[in-house]
Structure 1
Amino acid sequence: MITSNGESDSREDAGLLPETRRALGHGLAVAQAEGRVPSAVAAVVRDGRTVWTGKRGGAVAAGGEEPEGGEPTPHTQYRIGSLTKTFVAVQVMRLRDAGLLDLADPLGRYLEVPAEAGEEPASATIAQLLSHSGGLAAEPRGPWWERTPGELRSEPADLFGERPVRHPAGRRHHYSNLGYALLGALVERLRGAPWSDVLREEVLRPLGMDRTTPLPEEPYARGWAVHPWADAVLPEPLCDTGRMAPAGQLWSTAADLCRFAAFLTAGDDRVLGAESLAEMRTPAVAPEASGWDQSYGLGMQLVRSGGRLLAGHTGSMPGFLAAVWTAPEERLASVVLANATAGLPVGGLAAELLDTVAEREPSLPPPWRPRSAADPELLALTGPWYWGPSGFALRLREGRALELVPLGGRGRASRFRPEADGTWTGLDGYYAGETLRVARDADGGVSHLDLGTFVFTRHPYDPQAPVPGGVDPEGWRAD
């Protein structure tokens, strides 16, 4: 149950202090009033569980035209705009993980691009389309796709205007709704079904998101434009955008987006694992300025807020605003939905709600517990290793994974995934993608670690190990 002041008094909130819930409700109330939106719904997720929900505003449909249910609830649908892109990106990453494509593949390998569009759109890679770095135009051929029927763009060829490419591929981030329409067509081509049907079966159903749909289903909020100089509203048209739907078509609810946010935070092997989600959260194009506070990964926007890096997406369509932010390291996420074309800074509000919980009630670390039984051979690898004179510690993690950390706190750290051939692959940092091997001597004992040609030994410049360049036979000097 949601109270009139924008706070929820359900048992979902048992995990937050009353003062924190009050601060969240106050933040939502101020944002809705100052943003002048007919209604807004928000939520916070911690450790995969919704711990606060709130609403503010009057009827879901302004002007007295109330649909069934009247005021919004966590189960009221709002259009989520470009948040749809993150759903599409998850579908593409699933195709990659299933071996049906490589992110380095050019789009033209899978989709026919009309000759009049030129060769450049076809040569943009899947990764570049996901990260808006393929150089494609921001919008498809006119008129304004968000307010016109999708029949105007019934085929992929209808999407390309006179200049479909505006920048050299891979050079810079240039947001492209056109690019995501093509990714949706890619999903359809490789799965043999409409992208929205594939999304329902592969993503929405496993996550329990039964109120996320390509077209609205009651109860849903009506979309409004608010007059900039008067307290008056104008209804926005509701269009099925056809081929452009993967760029911003979906409708969802706060409750469903909390489930999606929990998935984006920790992963779900039924849909996409944590490792692939971490890849999506990695900046894919170099920021254009130093000290960046915004970037883009593979289908995820990245922002810095309150000293933490948030990943997720904002969205807007005529009549609607939406945002989902996640802070995976703190196992937190937030959701904001509103039914106005402009006015409410949903991304800022979602970040503020998340910051409020993180600062007032920092997440507790998971309790330490002994891991499953360790392989004695792997256990023998743990402890100090040296790259030349620099000390590192090798730690054994769950599932035969390894972690290398510098002993002095400065140096190249990385986590490593075990492979079937007995090697490990780096997951992050300098050694991401590099291979770690255990080298053995003629007697079968461990001689050294080979990490991308770097030799790690049990002692600094161990003369018994094949250190590149050799070790001076006189050894270390000292007075």
Structure 2
Amino acid sequence: MTTWVKIVHLESFKRLTNLPRAPRFLLTMVFPILLSASNLSAQRYTAMLDLSGRSAGADHPRLRPSQLEAFVDSTFAQKMRRDHIPGAVFVLVKDGQIVLEKGYGFADLEARTSVEPRRTRFRVASVSKLFTSVAVMQLVEQGKLDLDRDIDDYLGTFKIRNPYPNPITLRNLLSHSGGFDQEFRGRHAARRQDVLPLREYVRRYQPDVIFPPGKFMRYSNYGIALAGYLVERTSGEPFADYVKRHIFAPLKMAHSSFTQQGFDKADFARGYLYKDARWKPVGTRYTNVVPGGAMAATGHDIANFLLACLNGGRLGDTQVLEEKTLRQMWQRQASVHPDMPGWCLGFYERFTFGRRAVMHTGNTIGYTSVLYLLPEEHLGFFLALNANDTRFGDEFIREFHAHYFGARARPIRPVPATARHAEAVQGTYRLNLYPLHRLEKFANLQSSFEVRVEAESDGAITVRAPGQQRRYVEVGRLLYESDGGEDFVAFHTDSKGHVTHMLVEWDKPFTLERLAWYDKLPFQRLLRNGFLLFFAGSLFILPLSLRRRKRAQLSKMWKVAL
């Protein structure tokens, strides 16, 4: 299969996400047929019928507050101690109620201020993108925006430099398939007064469109910023004001904002880095990518958002989004592989022991967050840390599923004759979250995330990433499952059958590009250092050469004079 991103019809995923609560024997007979109709591998999701003898949605164990609190207390205490996390907040909602909201540790270590879920505000980083997506969909509901119309039609005199015939649409922006290169310039501001107006940011720092829109998935902060600008331009309200008026106020999210104010207040969690065996507070950073990462909120505020999401877009008597619109946002729009999680509208998919969730994570210097929804279980939770720790949330999700759903890993059924596939995928791959067409590409030589895939004699592969390694067995053509069942990786081939990319579900659905020998870090660094040495040598030799030439000219002049 050579198609990279598969755009799925909006109704096609209802077969998976809207299953009726039928008896288990009926689900067992019908479920594989539904999966086949959705063009998803039945084998990939058989775990949904392999959860300690229970079906996925029929007899969910009740989450008693005392039992839940004991589990979360124990899990957070262990992970916060191990990973040196100063403070955290956790909220969980189920069946229209807040089951648990609790703070852990300190919002400010120096002041010894405790985290309080109804008072302490955290920066939520990329979780902000969900609220931007909701704002877009509100205007889609009103007929003011169209998901499939060329965004240039909404931009007025400002246009996107798109060299491809197919237009960039809002659907592309919300599913990270707009084809934009990465753009690091202009993302941050030193002071709040230096934050650029949204129009100025998207106009001044527009990246190149390097892939045909809708063909490749490439995580794009700029794309979400552009979606936020369309909200601002279409509504006639500044973006932060629009979200406050049409989302935060109706959902009683009184302590949430996109304004990047009050970072020094007592109710704000201070971000920390753990270095040299001690915590160090991070300095305040402001972002110009406001719709993509500027939001701050309390745990309780996010709980109200979760309740609205799981109650058809309604909190109490207030409707912020229609239920059918929410369902549309949760349906897969773009996928790197038919058997791998993909991007929805704002949200992305995750499958844990067979259960499908929609979610988003956030990570910025000093802060980490996870927003997680299980729509079919009417359950959702949010956690935030005032430190950087992406494995915290990933581990918690798996442990939560194992503890409350009795999930057990299903037997891995490798496909036969896979040794040649393992040899074909062997190589070095690099995460493609860096610019390809600008000088910033060279900065990647200092912080590149590279992964080595090694073939084993039995057809399995070992994936070695910084700080970890994991063994995978092929369970479908170029689709590999880890020995422990934690995740899958897949590989993409071009029209000639050559493996070009690795597809992973680590934190988010990400793509890694396969590297030729001359693109690997050792050679690139050797090349860079050679150029730097040549340049430094030139700076040293050039003055000597000029001095020697001048002396030769003076000597010649003296000889002529004599």
Task: Work out whether the TM-score is over 0.5.
Answer: yes
Where does residue 73 of structure 1 map in the other structure?
Answer: 116
What is the aligned counterpart of 1:238 among 250, 267, 284? 284
Pair 1:162–1:156, CA change in 2 (3 A)? closer
Output the CA distance in 2 between the equivalents of 1:133 and 1:101: 18
What is the aligned counterpart of 1:335 among 382, 387, 390? 382
> Are positions 1:268 and 2:313 aligned together?
yes
Q: Deviations over 1:224-258 (max 9, x none)?
A: 1222xx3222322323324x100000001111111
CA shift for structure 1 position 216 = 4.8
Pair 1:17–1:224, CA change in 2 (3 A)? closer
SS, match of residue 52 in structure 1: strand
CA shift for structure 1 position 143 = 4.8
SS, match of residue 21 in structure 1: helix
In structure 2, the gaps of 5 or more residues are 1-61, 408-562
Contact 1:216–1:251 under 8 Å retained in 2:
no
> Are positions 1:319 and 2:366 aligned together?
yes
TM norm structure 2: 0.55
- Return the letter of the residue paired with 2:224: Y
Output the CA distance in 2 between the equivalents of 1:122 and 1:220: 45
> Are positions 1:54 and 2:98 aligned together?
no
TM norm structure 1: 0.64
5 Å-filtered alignment, 1:149-298, equals 151=194, 153-154=196-197, 156-159=199-202, 161=205, 163-214=207-258, 215-217=260-262, 218=265, 219-227=267-275, 230-242=276-288, 244-269=289-314, 270-286=319-335, 288-292=336-340, 294-298=341-345
Pair 1:164–1:310, CA change in 2 (3 A)? same
In structure 1, the gaps of 5 or more residues are 1-13, 361-479
CA shift for structure 1 position 208 = 1.1
Output the CA distance in 2 between the equivalents of 1:115 and 1:216: 31
Pair 1:346–1:337, CA change in 2 (3 A)? same
Q: Deviations over 1:320-345 (max 9, x none)?
A: 11111010111111111100134653
Q: Deviations over 1:15-35 (max 9, x none)?
A: 616444322221122222222
Pair 1:116–1:99, CA change in 2 (3 A)? closer
Contact 1:28–1:54 under 8 Å retained in 2:
no
SS, match of residue 280 in structure 1: helix
Output the CA distance in 1 between the equivalents of 2:212 and 2:70: 49
SS, match of residue 82 in structure 1: helix
Pair 1:17–1:260, CA change in 2 (3 A)? closer
What is the aligned counterpart of 2:69 among 21, 26, 30? 21
Where does residue 368 of structure 1 map in the other structure?
Answer: none
SS, match of residue 171 in structure 1: coil
Give the superposed CA RMSD: 2.7
Output the CA distance in 1 between the equivalents of 2:121 and 2:238: 22
CA shift for structure 1 position 163 = 4.4
Identity %: 25
CA shift for structure 1 position 305 = 1.2
Q: Deviations over 1:182-234 (max 9, x none)?
A: 1111001011111111111111111111111123544110111222xx32223
- Return the letter of the residue paired with 1:182: L
SS, match of residue 103 in structure 2: strand
Contact 1:223–1:318 under 8 Å retained in 2:
yes
What is the aligned counterpart of 1:32 among 72, 80, 90? 80
- Return the letter of the residue paired with 1:267: G
CA shift for structure 1 position 120 = 5.6
CA shift for structure 1 position 65 = 3.8
Pair 1:79–1:302, CA change in 2 (3 A)? same
Where does residue 402 of structure 1 map in the other structure?
Answer: none
SS, match of residue 56 in structure 1: strand
Pair 1:173–1:125, CA change in 2 (3 A)? same
